[in-house]
Copies of this chain bind each other. A is one copy, B any other.
């Protein structure tokens, strides 16, 4: 695999990602990708062997790109709180390709349920995110809270991202969800009193709607 072939491969992968974002997984076809890359369909087979292999390579490329971005932001952050903030911000996509990435990711999510090769990539990416979150959470919250909090934060990030894809990126602009995540962490810091639960939510004064002070 020469230097030239590596850059050629990346060129084809980029065309595959664009096709996925624009046309979706159902119309993800050799003709579409090869037209966009200005090559013949046979060339893609020559480089990747099969359509599934191309799809997996495209998936890996997007995941790696996302991870590179997050890692770069992690390096700039000092302390566990700043690192979690960096992780969340990186995944909420304050970059130019956020919307395309979200659309592609949605395609992958749907198909990873049925293609084991894609499922493995998705699981690895999710584990890396969870592992990063847990590393810093361990320094902030009680040990028993680390795992469920990491799961919850990751779920919230995905939810915001999903809606951004569906609604054209507008959801990313209001930072309420971002603030919510950081609130969530702040209220569960080590040694902090338990936050009001759904049960106590039910018992507040219905007339004034006032929360009971802790």
Contacts and interface: CB of A to CB of B under 8 A. Distances in A.
A102 to B, nearest CB: 10
A52 to B, nearest CB: 11
Interface of A: 23-27, 79, 81-82, 85, 103, 106-107, 109-114, 122, 126, 140, 148-149, 151-152, 154-160, 162-163, 165-166, 171, 174-180, 182-187, 189-192, 195-198, 200-202, 204, 206, 208-211
A186 B165 contact: no
A163 B154 contact: yes
Given A113-B165, A158-B162, 10 more contacts: A24-B110, A24-B113, A82-B202, A106-B109, A179-B197, A182-B198, A183-B196, A183-B198, A186-B201, A191-B209
A194 B107 CA distance: 38
Given A109-B106, A113-B106, A151 B176 contact: yes
B163 A162 contact: no
B183 A155 contact: no
A110 B113 contact: no
Contacts of A23: 114
A162 B155 contact: yes
23 contacts: A26-B26, A26-B114, A81-B201, A82-B202, A106-B113, A109-B165, A113-B165, A122-B166, A148-B174, A152-B177, A155-B160, A155-B163, A155-B171, A156-B156, A156-B177, A158-B159, A158-B162, A159-B159, A182-B197, A186-B201, A187-B211, A189-B209, A192-B211
